[in-house]
Structure 1
Amino acid sequence: MTALDKDTIIKDAIGYVKKLFAGNSDGHGADHTMRVYHNAQMIMEAFPEADSFVISLAALLHDADDYKLFNTENNMNARSFMDSKALSSEIEEQVCSVINSVSFSKNKGRRPETLEGKIVQDADRLDALGAIGIARTFAYGGKAGRPLEDSIKHFYDKLLLLKDEMNTEVAREIAQKRHELLISFLEEYYEETGYRYEQ
């Protein structure tokens, strides 16, 4: 497969996820996917040995079968796209393996075995931190009918844990800065509301 072929497939994958997530407003839409894709591009610059095609595809398709959004099994949406491009079963399985290693809830405390998985997992988790992480938390909470206090609890259940679960040094540095913003936000929220979450 030529570099041009790969570039065309990546371009088509971008179009696919934009259609797949059309109308999504809960923080898991195409805009999230594109940020994860760009995060992955940035991180993998430090790892020239990584498979950039697998990373790019996995980053773009990582939420294509998210259980919160789709009722699919065995990465059906991701596989459907890759089958339409006649990708080899080897590439398809590599991409699906990376996708399956990304989810926080399904992989809590477990690190991906491959470098590609580590990069995409970091790319996704960075988008749950900082200002964008705060915005996504409340966007999802609003759509799910979750009270503000439950969204605050989500900070302690997930967001504040992410800084220490990054796989790469590049992501750790970015995560530290974004983590500090989460802490600042919580303190300001508590001051304004008089509410404080007790673990």
Structure 2
Amino acid sequence: MGSWREGVVEYIRREAQPVEKFGHQPRLYALTLEIGKGLEYDDDVVFAACWLHDLGVFVGHRPEDPVALAAWDNTAYAVEKTPGILGGMGFPEEKIAGVVQAIATHQPTGDPQTLEGVILRDADILEQLGAVGILRTVCKVGKDTRFHTFTDAARSLQKALSTLPAEVRLASTRSMMEERVRVMGEFLRAAAAEAGENLL
């Protein structure tokens, strides 16, 4: 691992709050390595984008005011801050634009125009599915403006299950996605059966 990579990892380790936010970045990068097998792409760009794309969701970076938080664009924040962070760590200057572009289009609604951006976006979609996707959503109940109850979380998971699989672009990602879709579907069916109308 080069010195700039170590710097980026340590920066995110320090800034990722609450602490569970840190796990997403290494998992995401590991997924990109699987997705990208056999493809020619710039791993420096993908690595940096994986580690910095969610900077705007961390406590200390996002607004504390609930109204401001509800309107917060965490992706725009990451796009704004990333060049300065990478520039101060010795990251190749000519690659910064590629990192910014990948971050800007990493959401499911994004339309990446580079392979690096597609790999990042596909990997981020996988992180919203399966057992990990369930954990990431449920842990936000009571701490996120979108999730006040388990019903809110279940509704979000159902939406992810219904919409995200169609957004995946690469064949390698689709094959990795199948088990995650099955796990999430079974979880939602079991939760509905066990809780009935009393999920809250």
For normalisation by structure 2, the TM-score amounts to 0.82
For this pair of structures, how many residues does the alignment match? 184
Displacement of 1:168: 1.1
Mapped pair 1:190 → 2:181: no
How far, CA to CA, are the matches of 1:139 and 1:86 in structure 2? 35
Deviation sequence 1:65-90 (CA, Å, 0-9, x none) = 34996257462332232120244543
Displacement of 1:147: 0.7
Which residue in 1 is equivalent to 2:42? 51
1:23 to 5, 18, 26: 18
Which residue in 2 is equivalent to 1:139? 139
Displacement of 1:162: 1.4
Deviation sequence 1:100-147 (CA, Å, 0-9, x none) = 11023xxx2x43111100001111111111111111110112322511
Which residue in 1 is equivalent to 2:101? 97
How far, CA to CA, are the matches of 1:8 and 1:88 in structure 2? 12
How far, CA to CA, are the matches of 2:17 and 2:78 in structure 1? 22
Displacement of 1:39: 0.8
How far, CA to CA, are the matches of 2:7 and 2:92 in structure 1? 17
Taking only aligned residues, the RMSD between alpha carbons, in angstroms, comes to 2.4
Which residue in 1 is equivalent to 2:79? 75
Does the CA-based 8 Å contact 2:17-2:58 persist in structure 1? Answer: no
Write the letter of the residue equivalent to 2:25. T
Does the CA-based 8 Å contact 2:49-2:99 persist in structure 1? Answer: yes
Write the letter of the residue equivalent to 2:154. I
Which residue in 1 is equivalent to 2:53? 62
Does the CA-based 8 Å contact 1:57-1:95 persist in structure 2? Answer: yes
Does the CA-based 8 Å contact 2:46-2:120 persist in structure 1? Answer: yes
Does the CA-based 8 Å contact 2:165-2:177 persist in structure 1? Answer: yes
SS in 1 for 2:56: coil
How far, CA to CA, are the matches of 2:184 and 2:17 in structure 1? 29
How far, CA to CA, are the matches of 1:82 and 1:115 in structure 2? 20
138-147 or 67-76: bigger deviation: 67-76
2:174 to 172, 175, 181: 172
SS in 1 for 2:139: helix
Where does structure 2 lack aligned partners over 5 or more consecutive residues?
64-75
How far, CA to CA, are the matches of 2:196 and 2:78 in structure 1? 45
Does the CA-based 8 Å contact 1:21-1:30 persist in structure 2? Answer: yes
